[in-house]
Amino acid sequence: MNLSSRIAAPRTGTEWWRGAVIYQIYPRSFQDSNGDGIGDLGGILDRLEHVSKLGADAIWISPFFPSPMRDFGYDVSDYCEVDPMFGTLADFDRVIAQAGELGLKVLIDLVFNHTSDQHPWFRESRASRDNPRSNWYVWSDPRPDGTPPNNWLSIFGGTAWQWDSRRCQYYLHNFLTSQPDLNFHEPAVQDALLDVARFWLDRGVAGFRLDTINFYAHDAELRDNPALPPERRNDTIAPAVNPYNHQEHLYSKNRPETPLFLGRLRVLLDEYDAIALGEVGDAQHGIELLGEYTAGSDRVQMCYAFEFLAPEAPDAASVAAVINRMDQVAADGWACWAFSNHDVARHVSRWHLSPAALRAYAKLMICLRGTVCLYQGEELGLAEAELPFEALRDPYGIEFWPEYRGRDGCRTPMVWDEHAPAGGFSTGLPWLPVSPAHLPLATATQEADPGALLHHYRRAIALRHAHPALAIGSIARARAEGSVLTFDRRHAGEEIRCAFNLSDRPTSVDLPGGSWLAIDAEPAVGQVHAGGPMELGPWQACLLLRQEAPSSTA
């Protein structure tokens, strides 16, 4: 049987999330159903079948809550409603129902670190120093000279403190000034956020993606962050032009109080048999925090760090190093790997990938131990859209233009039909322009071409579903020899050797003795190898299922 032709069956059970494939939907840009140029819940309903046919187990929907849209939904003004631009709660209920019919779980994006400054909680908090919610946000008196209480910096540039004339105090904002940070040292804040989670769990969500999970708690003493030596700086989290990279964020995030809140959240999640996926935004300690936040049964189930969201393309040595680092510091944790999302340039552009390289990395993603997160359009090979300054909507890009162009280039609309207006995304003027370079990669065009990348992703996901060793197995013997990365996946007697030539030059790899069946070595599926040298073409991935070990007398 040609295993690449198997239909991917979504995983079920209480631990369906282990090894699952999650498809991220950025609702503004997925599908517009009413012609206003903005994607919505009705559009998600119209296109859910695409996600199901891909073989995904779940969708993650980025924020659709009421918001002033200063940060396009990540500045929430009401946690328990739907912004009218996206639809209604009834529309959301229909998404839950239809996703269930298609075998898809639904995760929604909860932004607990901060709210919009238009949220009723903040309006009350800023009104006085003695109202019932006065301590719900992080307030501080100025230093004697009137300057902010410490040196903490905002990811969006400049100080992380904003003066408020109503209270004559500063409030903390790790992101935009219009996104004040909630105070997790206040028990009532934690209680209110757990009530938010319960509201959506009662509506049938399978869990949450938790935005900026490591930012939740801050140092109660507001101590200064130390300087970060230049040799330790990198632009994984913030662009190099941002002074945020000059600090070791020892006190403004990554605090020991965060896992205590996660424990409270986990109790609620277990009540509903639900899960949480945390975003760990840290350039120096991402994997360590991932391990800390997902270890045991009293934290969240999985997290993703930024190792593969970095600007540099991972080579054989760096991937092996990440795998081995996970084994060293997060062996009891569970990762969710992503190459692209709504916050970074699409990886085909970020890593300057050829079509062959793009396919190899897609296969690599599917073979990693952990859960997989794909970003809408990744399965089409969409590149980062090139936008002029006047088309930008992202405040991050506007602030640091032109050295950093922001996140709009990865947020442009999906393309469904290259011959339809706006690529089939909308009958109106899209909120961001559709890239002309994306049109030939539209879904309808790729559906008609059996050799298209879309089908490559479907086959890869089907292979993961077909082999428990790839989905939930252990990972061992990760090593790099030149451009070749190899590692083993094992589960319940099934052993798969994964080999990747991450270069544009042919090479070879040595197989251990025994009998190995190629289960996905395009185009050599079904070949049997007896160990020893095996040729790998440029950017070739080869997955081999052990048939039998060499005899002890051989």
Could you give all domains of the chain from N- to C-terminal order, each with its CATH number?
10-114+187-464 (3.20.20.80), 475-548 (2.60.40.1180)
pTM: predicted TM-score of the whole model, two decimal places: 0.95
Euclidean distance between the first and the last CA atom of the chain, given in angstroms as a whole number? 31
The closest of 281, 302, 303 to 214, measured between CA atoms, is 281
Which member of 211, 282, 288, 408 is catalytic? 211
Q: For 451-478, what is each residue's pLDDT tens digit?
A: 999 999 999 999 999 999 999 999 999 9
Contact predicate 28/61, CB 8 Å? no
What was the pLDDT predicted at 41? 98
What was the pLDDT predicted at 526? 83
Q: Greatest CA separation found in the chain?
A: 84
Contact predicate 51/106, CB 8 Å? no
Location of structure tokens 């050829």: 354
What was the pLDDT predicted at 525? 81
> 3-class SS at 430?
coil
Sorted by sequence, the CB contacts under 8 Å of residue 314 that are 6+ apart come out as: 307, 308, 322, 502
What was the pLDDT predicted at 234? 86
Sorted by sequence, the CB contacts under 8 Å of residue 273 that are 6+ apart come out as: 14
Residues of the chain with pLDDT under 50: 1-9, 553-554
Give the separation between CA 333 and CA 289, rounded to whole angstroms. 10
What was the pLDDT predicted at 349? 98
Give the separation between CA 125 and CA 136, rounded to whole angstroms. 7
The closest of 97, 240, 220 to 149, measured between CA atoms, is 220
Contact predicate 194/262, CB 8 Å? no
What was the pLDDT predicted at 313? 96
Is-catalytic flag, 231? no
Sorted by sequence, the CB contacts under 8 Å of residue 195 that are 6+ apart come out as: none
What was the pLDDT predicted at 499? 97
Q: Go through the chain and tell me how many residues it has.
A: 554
Give the separation between CA 226 and CA 251, rounded to whole angstroms. 9
Q: In terms of C-beta density within 10 A (0-12 exposed, 13-18 middle, 19 or more buried), how is residue 295 classed?
A: middle
Which member of 271, 332, 504, 510 is catalytic? 271
What was the pLDDT predicted at 94? 98
Q: Show contacts of 348-351: CB within 8 Å, 24+ apart.
A: 348/381, 348/382, 348/383, 348/384, 349/383, 349/384, 349/409, 350/311, 350/313, 350/384, 351/312, 351/313
Is-catalytic flag, 271? yes
Contact predicate 165/59, CB 8 Å? no
Q: In terms of C-beta density within 10 A (0-12 exposed, 13-18 middle, 19 or more buried), how is residue 367 classed?
A: buried
In this structure, which amino acid lies at residue 94? R
Give the separation between CA 404 and CA 241, rounded to whole angstroms. 8
What was the pLDDT predicted at 332? 93
Q: How many CA atoms lie within 13 A of 87 on its CB side?
A: 23
Provide the pairing of β-strand 161-164 with 169-172.
Answer: antiparallel
Q: In what order do the strands lie in the sheet with 494-501?
A: 474-481, 484-491, 494-501, 541-548, 515-520, 528-529
Sorted by sequence, the CB contacts under 8 Å of residue 361 that are 6+ apart come out as: 339, 347, 351, 353
